Amino acid sequence: MKEYTSFEIDGKEAKKYISFDVGGTKVKHGLLLEDGTILSKDSYDTHCTNLDLFLKEMTETINMYTQNHQVSGVAISLPGFINPHTGYSESGGAVTALDHQNLKKLLEKRTSLPIEVENDGNCVALAEKVSGNAKNCTDFICMTIGTGIGGGIFVNGSLLHGHSFRGGEIGFMITRAGNYDMDILHSNASTNALIKAYKKLKGISEHQHIEGETVFLESRKNSSVRKLVDEWVQHISYGIFNLAATLNPQKILIGGGVIAQQGLISKINHKLDQLPWWKRIKIPVERCKYQNDAGMIGAMYNFIEKQGR
């Protein structure tokens, strides 16, 4: 790992933070400066069902950074229903080990560093608001496409948490009524949903590991897979349409690793333009500035907001 000594921002020594972005497949982590600069980053597989292993891996990662760096705190982006004030996770989403747990308190017992947590979709929205493609917006929505569908919503310049911290859980929107297994965005518009449909089409075991990249590459030469991707993009467009119709934001930003696929934003906009009602509520639909790093950057901004510089 590259060694860094001292950095200055506006004439003052910049603080360093450890930031985690916990996903259903990987836990991404990095050492960040307070302006969002990522000094180093890495990832490891998520222990989704074992709390002890989850805490052990995260604590060891924190210790790895603190051995060589003076760190001001630990920022964490988490899936699920998160109370950002207390750190309590009513649900950990795909990381069931965090159901009814308080990661903030659990880690504060294992390290002397202050800890702050926030929902992953909200962290993406914070990253885009502070220094990304929504910097000049007061009303916008981030939609993240990954293991599931996440979201973060800004209204009148403020992050919308909702009464019980479920604001932005757009993955639960019903967009395909009549098929319980595929009714909601989580199950018809996520990367996992695309891979699941691909496996079914190809007769591949559900236990075999397939990357989303594989599906997109094959769609270029296989018409059946291309049709599968086309239907998947259509489901994404339905979710975007409903969000635009409900909240009338200035723009909707799409994030997640899958957005790196060439032409995907154009395909989404094309599907929206095919909806006869879109012209009445049409808004810009663009990509997030920060792709795979958005969660880490937003988590750090949340930490700074909560703790003060």
Confidence of residue 182 (pLDDT cuts 50, 70, 90): confident
Backbone angles phi, psi at 206, to 5 degrees: -65, -15
| Total-model pTM | 0.91
Per the CB < 8 A criterion, the answer to whether 98 and 54 are in contact is yes
- Mean of all residue pLDDT scores within the chain: 93
pLDDT at 268 over 60: yes
9 vs 178: which has the higher pLDDT:
178
Nearest residue to 288 (alpha-carbon basis) of 82, 93, 146: 146
pLDDT in tens, 280-305: 999 999 999 998 899 999 999 999 99
pLDDT of residue 10: 56
pLDDT at 104 over 60: yes
| Per-residue tokens: 148 | 């599931």
pLDDT at 11 over 70: no
Mean pLDDT within 202-225: 95
Classify burial at 307, counting beta carbons within 10 Å of its beta carbon; exposed 0-12, middle 13-18, buried 19 or more: middle
pLDDT of residue 5: 38
d(CA 148, CA 139): 23
Nearest residue to 285 (alpha-carbon basis) of 155, 168, 140: 140
Alpha carbon separation from 301 to 104, 118, 217 (Å, rounded):
16, 10, 36
Alpha helices in 15-84 (DSSP H): 51-66
